[in-house]
Amino acid sequence: MPDYNARELMAVAAARKINDGEIVFCGTGISMLAAMAAKHISAPNSIIIFETGAIDSQLEEIPMAVGDPRVMYGASSNTGLADSFALMQNRTTGRHVVGILGAAQIDKFGNLNSTVVGDYAHPKVRFSGSGGAADVASFVDRTIIFMQHERRKFVSKVDYLTSPGWLDGPAGRRRAGLTGSGPSAVISNLAVMGFDADSREMFLEAYFPGTTPQAVLDHMEFSVDLSRARELEPPTAAELKILREIVDPQRLILGG
């Protein structure tokens, strides 16, 4: 079995979650690797879009931000924010989008906070804010969330609900007026979490090789069902080769 680091494992775990024919909404960093890798693994007809206006990017070089001019390379069409988010809100195209998001805090229903720690009016810590995350989480039919697995990040209640997950449970989104579905997976540096089809609560789907279900739980403020947990299948040699030789040969995101 080949050696790999946590980022490689996370990128592969996410890439495996992308279905053929889907539109992948990418943020900066590891989500780009996952989207690019997916096209070479199991989703050759998936396409990549950016909120900044690039539709069906070919991504020759890895962009350092979604505002990076590199996102335009080989796109089918290239405009601006208004068109890009309209495509996600439109039900013909939007329901085919899988959004890849990250956040500072997540709760058991996959609601995300990327705004503040503490009270909104008197924050202890201020983050960058929603960006397009609240839009994507509102519009598209499913999201995949990247997180660092820490107790202060997997919290019982997010300090500020920036991006809607399943809100307060199965009927939460519908009651709020949201049409798409909520998060389908959380991929952390320790595990892959799913969301129960009935309760919409987070559960442990797979733990990374070298850790245990209990170790994952120790890094969370709330508890989740462990009964369905299995050890994640490590990246194959073929997957790692794609990631290392095609997607990020300079290891800009994969790191040293």
Q: Report, as residue numbers or ranges, the catalytic residues.
A: 51
- Stated as kind and residue range, the H or E segment containing 176 is helix 172-176
Minimum distance, C-beta of residue 166 to another protein, in the bound complex (Å): 10
Smallest separation (angstroms) from another protein to the CB of 149: 20
Dihedral of alpha carbons 253, 108, 221, 117, sign = positive
Q: Please, are residues 182 and 173 in contact by the beta-carbon 8 Å criterion? A: yes
Q: How far apart are CA 209 and CA 201, in angstroms?
A: 24
In the complex, minimum distance from the CB of residue 14 to another protein, in angstroms, rounded to a whole number: 18
Residue 4: which residues within 8 A CB-CB, separation 6 or more? 234, 235, 240
SS3 category, 153? coil
What backbone torsions phi and psi does residue 16 show, to the nearest 5 degrees?
Answer: -65, -20
Q: Which of 126, 106, 129, 110 is nearest to 118 (CA)?
A: 126
Please say which residue, 171 or 237, places its beta carbon nearer to another protein.
171
Which residue's entry shows tokens 């919290």? 155
Residues, the chain, total? Answer: 256
- Which single residue is written with the structure tokens 């809607």? 164
57: Cα within 13 Å, side-chain hemisphere? 30
Query: What minimum distance in Å lies between the beta carbon of 15 and another protein?
Result: 17
Minimum CB distance to another protein smaller for 152 or for 228 = 152
Q: Between 52 and 143, whose beta carbon lies closer to another protein?
A: 52
CB-nearer residue toward another protein: 45 or 227: 45
Q: At closest approach, how far in Å is the CB of 33 from another protein?
A: 13
Nearer to another protein, 128 or 250 (CB): 128
- The whole-angstrom separation of Cα 255 and Cα 243 is 12
DSSP 3-state of 139? helix
Q: How far is the CB of 87 from another protein (least distance, A)?
A: 8
CB nearer another protein, residue 96 or residue 153: 96
Task: Return the bridge partners of 44, or none.
Answer: none
